[in-house]
Amino acid sequence: MPFVAKMCVMCFLAVAAVNSQYVEANENPCNLVDCTPNTRCVVVDNEAKCLPTNENPPVKSNSCPDNEQFNECGTACEPSCRNPNPQICTLQCVIGCQCKPGLYRNDNGICVSNCRDNVLAPQETCLTKICPPGTQCEQERINCIRAPCPQPLPKCVKIDPYNPCAATTCPVGTECIVKEVQCVKAPCYPVAECSTTSHNDQCGPYETFQICSSNCEPSCSRKNPVCIQSCGSPKCQCSTGFYRDTNNRCVTEAECSTPPQDNQCGQNEVFQSCSSNCEPSCSNRNPVCIQSCGPPKCQCSIGFYRNTSNKCVTEKECSPPPQNNQCGQNEVCNLSCGSPKCQCNTGFYRDVNGRCVKEIECSNPPPNNQFVFSLAVHRNANVPTASTVTQVDGV
């Protein structure tokens, strides 16, 4: 008897990528089965079965109900009365009986040509569901491998403490601002505040502030990135129809600069189609970096380092490190780790004025029942944060 693999299959609603009708998914039970040599995996009755390569599936076309036909590689999103023209579908083969072309599966599982008699009971959505305090409504994931799949049900989930604006409704004319809280006692969660000040005033040209930013902002090098749908930190991003260029500006597609060629690079530079995010520089000649592929651009040739004037120079041409006589009082030049810099001598500590003083001269830290926090609006790294405030519990 052929091996039959039974398993629980979790099927999530597929999220279409930009300009793509299908997305890869792992809902097919065969993706979880390793068949022996000379056999192949097929899906029959929602189960993965390993059959000899020359043996047909046990379901025959003449065993299908009326108005249905057998497909050896059918769609995972069969047209139904609830969704007669599915646009988003997982890319996989489903073997079995499916409705003939021009027919739709109704709620009773029958293939019909007219869906007018298919009564669709109104379903609760996040627009109508009332969640208790401290929770918010989200569409629940569903288990489904064969169409028609039921609509995802709304459910109340605990509010993400790191994105309080997701559960905050601000009055008309205001918008929600996520403010970071830095405190002595953990945990420290950001807070939501409705503000009349628009974040867009702090964004650059052709940028829009996004409370739920995309982790795959379109750029000149990747205009249609395929991305997992997720909510990034609040920040300014390029407006619709604009792309981030190598100069960190948002420009139109026509303004996207053509990647430079070798003869367009500067002295001691070479064009890299897969650039490094950790180019050696005079201040950090041996950076520790995660291997990744950056946008195409010119970078320093091997043996050269980027200086503060943005030129690639030899190690000898890099500015010399500070000498001991260039450091301040109670400071010494540290050359052992990282870029050379002045640090406090042993037994001395850096105070709030930037001086190296003895421990007895340090300012008293706040008691345990106090905390210091700074209110900082999430925006571009180039935008300065708000002022720092000191506060005591209960005040």
Query: According to the model, what pLDDT value does residue 313 have?
Result: 94
Model confidence over 70-100: pLDDT tens digits? 888 888 788 888 888 876 776 677 788 889 9
Kindly state the average pLDDT of the residues 228-247: 80
Total domain count, the chain: 3
Look up residue 232 and give its amino acid: G
Query: Has residue 144 been placed in a domain?
Result: no
Query: Has residue 289 been placed in a domain?
Result: no
Confidence of residue 197 (pLDDT cuts 50, 70, 90): low
Per 3-state DSSP, what percentage of the chain is helix, strand, and coil (rounded to 5)?
A: 10, 30, 65
Query: Has residue 186 been placed in a domain?
Result: yes
Domain of residue 349: give its range.
Answer: 320-364
> What's 150-164 look like in SS3?
CCCCEEEEECCCCCH
- Contact in structure between 185 and 369 (CB atoms under 8 Å): no
Cα gap 73→127, rounded to integer Å: 38
What are the C-alpha distances in Å from 343 to residues 103, 328, 332? 77, 9, 5
3-state secondary structure of 325: helix
Same domain, 14 and 101: yes
Kindly state the average pLDDT of the residues 143-163: 66
2 has pLDDT over 60: no
Kindly state the average pLDDT of the residues 121-143: 72
Query: Has residue 136 been placed in a domain?
Result: no
Query: According to the model, what pLDDT value does residue 370 have?
Result: 39
Cα gap 307→316, rounded to integer Å: 11
* Percent of the chain scoring above 70 in pLDDT: 62
Query: According to the model, what pLDDT value does residue 312 have?
Result: 93
251 has pLDDT over 60: yes
Q: What is the CATH number of the domain that holds 51?
A: 2.10.25.10
Model confidence over 34-77: pLDDT tens digits? 777 777 777 766 677 777 766 665 544 457 888 999 888 888 78
Look up residue 29 and give its amino acid: P
11 has pLDDT over 80: no
354 has pLDDT over 60: yes
Contacts 24+ apart (CB under 8 A), 301-306: 301/268, 301/269, 301/270, 304/268, 304/269, 304/280, 305/280, 305/281, 306/279, 306/280, 306/281, 306/282
Q: Is 320 exposed, middle or buried (0-12, 13-18, 19+ CB in 10 A)?
A: exposed
What's the start-to-end Cα distance of the chain, in Å? 75
Query: According to the model, what pLDDT value does residue 1 have?
Result: 43
Confidence of residue 150 (pLDDT cuts 50, 70, 90): low
Query: Has residue 138 been placed in a domain?
Result: no
Q: What is the CATH number of the domain that holds 330?
A: 2.10.25
Query: Has residue 117 been placed in a domain?
Result: no
Average pLDDT, the chain: 70
304 has pLDDT over 90: yes
22 has pLDDT over 50: no
Lowest mean pLDDT among 186-195, 232-241, 376-385: 376-385
Query: According to the model, what pLDDT value does residue 364 have?
Result: 58
The better pLDDT of the pair 32, 358 is held by: 358
Same domain, 173 and 107: no
Confidence of residue 314 (pLDDT cuts 50, 70, 90): very high
* Domain C-terminal end among 233, 255, 277: 255
25 has pLDDT over 50: no
Confidence of residue 196 (pLDDT cuts 50, 70, 90): low
327 has pLDDT over 60: yes
Confidence of residue 378 (pLDDT cuts 50, 70, 90): very low
368 has pLDDT over 70: no
Query: Has residue 324 been placed in a domain?
Result: yes
Same domain, 94 and 169: no
Kindly state the average pLDDT of the residues 96-123: 79
337 has pLDDT over 80: no
Cα gap 331→336, rounded to integer Å: 15
* Domain C-terminal end among 238, 255, 272: 255
Query: According to the model, what pLDDT value does residue 300 have?
Result: 92
Same domain, 170 and 233: yes
310 has pLDDT over 80: yes
Query: According to the model, what pLDDT value does residue 271 have?
Result: 83
- Contact in structure between 42 and 55 (CB atoms under 8 Å): no
Residue with tokens 């052992």: 336
Kindly state the average pLDDT of the residues 123-140: 76
Query: Has residue 11 been placed in a domain?
Result: yes
* Percent of the chain scoring above 90 in pLDDT: 4
